[in-house]
Amino acid sequence: MFTKNIVGGEFSSEGKSTFQSFNPELNRHNAELFFEATSVEAARAAKLAKIGFEKFQKVDHDKRASFLRSIRSEMERDKTIILDAFCAESGLSRERGEKEFTRTVFQLSSFADLVEKNEWIEASIDTSDHPAVPDLRKQLFGIGPVLVFGASNFPLAYSTMGGDSVAALAAGCPVIVKAHPSHAKTSGLVASAVLRAIVKNDMPPEIFSHLYAVDFKVAHQLVQHEAVKAVGFTGSFHGGKALFDLANNRKHPIPVFAEMGSVNPTIVFTENNEDKYDAWAQVLSQSMLTDAGQFCTNPGLIFIQKSSTSKLFIHQLEELFLNEAPKCMLNSSIAETFREKKQKLLAADLGVFKQSTNEVRENYGAQAFLKVDAETFIREEQLREEVFGSFSVLIEFETYLEILSCLEVIEGQLTGSVFVSEEQMKNYRELIQQLTSKVGRVILNGVPTGVRVCPSMNHGGPFPATTDSRFTAVGIDSIYRFARPVSFQNFPDDLLPKALRNKNSFGIARRINGEWTKKDVG
């Protein structure tokens, strides 16, 4: 059944067009034929999501939490076949699959805990003791049906029941997933687990649709459908911006939370830090190589301070980076784009280009870097574009002023890292300030890859890294992307939502007349 679409909680295969996913490791198509959704199915999914929203809003928070935990159990039941599909469709290792699975089910549990506590709704109450002054009470509600685009590079953690979907469901929003065709089976198996959890928990079936599509028609139709109220996307700048523009041109524009490319500037202060070269080169090369560099947090720009010993550091980094065996990429088109982008930079002849000379099989990506000086970096805009894969531009800078000028020309990023000794840190306050204004996460003596999922994580950043720098895409605070506040003015107690009534029946922290408290009103 997982080869069919799911429309409002029911399997559906009305179209004639089918497609297969691809095994990049074996360089051949996988067996299953997936049905592409028709525009009639897409329209039905949106219409049902609207109905589902009304029903889902009435479901108690603790039931919503049990539903999320139940999705976790259902996914765990099918873990082996999900991971088999994960590996067969992504070229990623079983070990990575295990890690991503653990992260995905952890996200489900942490959102269940969040919803159960009820505090995310940010209940706020301002009472009045004068007839001319209104009594006002405010809380957050789900925004409405959310359209989620599965990401190629996270077949589990940012796909069918990944960060965007779980945040939306937690907020009480129905989800329509546009599955990534690269890993259709992985997505379909997870979608089937969601469906079982819907039935077991007596949830409105209309809250979940899962659609396959390889052309853009269905996606564009859904982004423009009046029932869809927000979009979550992870992928290319081109794709994210196209969807963002479409959403903004609707009669009633909606928010698009697109997480797009990032080159993650990483600055290494080599002077008087020779004792740290080994460790820094190790951690950096691993970050550049992990899973063929197919991360939005890949360190794509590495600025290295020119010093009497910096050549030694660069040599160490080169050796560690280039000597590793190239890895399989997510799909043939990503592998091809990687080859083309490297080729274009090599042809531009802007500096020293070095590439792994190890054997490169079909759909594998040979890691490479390009070394340039700061002046070239500032002049050549193409050096600041994301090359998705194990590729970094190494920029040697001479002075503090020069590195500040380099950072000046960089656009918004997810992260910025600085490798420096603690004693030297205080000399670089201006640089940290500059990074803070450009990125969503500033990292000291660490690499951008390896994103910890916790409440204090910010995974976002100014455009073009994302389309809305005010929100994180990782961690429980990502729920705020899919929520909106409503105030109730002069309402009698029994007509108010439960969390805003005088009696604090949920026992949650509420802001009453400016003070956070768990007390009742009055």
Which residues are identified as catalytic? 259, 296
CB nearer ligand NAP, residue 301 or residue 334: 334
CB nearer ligand NAP, residue 15 or residue 497: 15
Task: Give the up-direction half-sphere exposure of residue 48: CA atoms within 13 A in the CB hemisphere.
Answer: 20
Helix (H, G, I), strand (E, B) or coil at 354: strand
DSSP 491: -
Q: Out of 118, 209, 234, 392, point to the residue binding ligand NAP (CB under 6 A).
A: 234
From the list 77-85, 144-152, 448-456, 481-489, the region that binds ligand NAP by CB under 6 A is 144-152
- How many helices (H) and strands (E) the chain has is answered by 15, 25
Rounded to whole angstroms, the Cα distance separating 166 from 315 reads 44
Instruction: Specify which residues 370 forms β-bridges with.
Output: 353, 393
For residue 89, the minimal CB distance to ligand NAP (Å) is 13
Is residue 390 a contact residue for ligand NAP (CB under 6 A)?
no
Q: Which of residues 207-226 bind ligand NAP (CB under 6 A)?
A: 213-214, 216, 219-220
- Is omega for the bond preceding 24 within 30 degrees of 0, making it cis? no
CB nearer ligand NAP, residue 36 or residue 206: 36
For residue 483, the minimal CB distance to ligand NAP (Å) is 24
Window 159-198: contact mask with ligand NAP (x via CB under 6 A): -------------------x-xx-----------------
Window 327-366: contact mask with ligand NAP (x via CB under 6 A): -------x--x-----------------------------
Report yes or no: 224 and 46 within 8 Å, Cβ to Cβ: no
Q: In what order do the strands lie in the sheet with 10-12?
A: 10-12, 5-7, 208-211, 175-178, 146-149, 230-234, 256-259
For residue 243, the minimal CB distance to ligand NAP (Å) is 6
Instruction: Specify which residues 301 forms β-bridges with.
Output: 265, 393
Instruction: Specify which residues 124 forms β-bridges with.
Output: 138, 511
DSSP 60: -
DSSP 12: E
For residue 149, the minimal CB distance to ligand NAP (Å) is 4
From the list 76-84, 103-111, 143-151, 310-318, the region that binds ligand NAP by CB under 6 A is 143-151
For residue 371, the minimal CB distance to ligand NAP (Å) is 22
Q: Which of residues 246-305 bind ligand NAP (CB under 6 A)?
A: 260-262, 296
CA distances from 233 to 34, 207, 219, 250, 456 (A): 22, 19, 11, 18, 22
Helix axes 184-200, 61-77, angle to 10 degrees: 130
Q: Which residues bind ligand NAP (CB under 6 A)?
A: 149-153, 178, 180-181, 213-214, 216, 219-220, 234-236, 239, 242-243, 260-262, 296, 334, 337, 386, 388
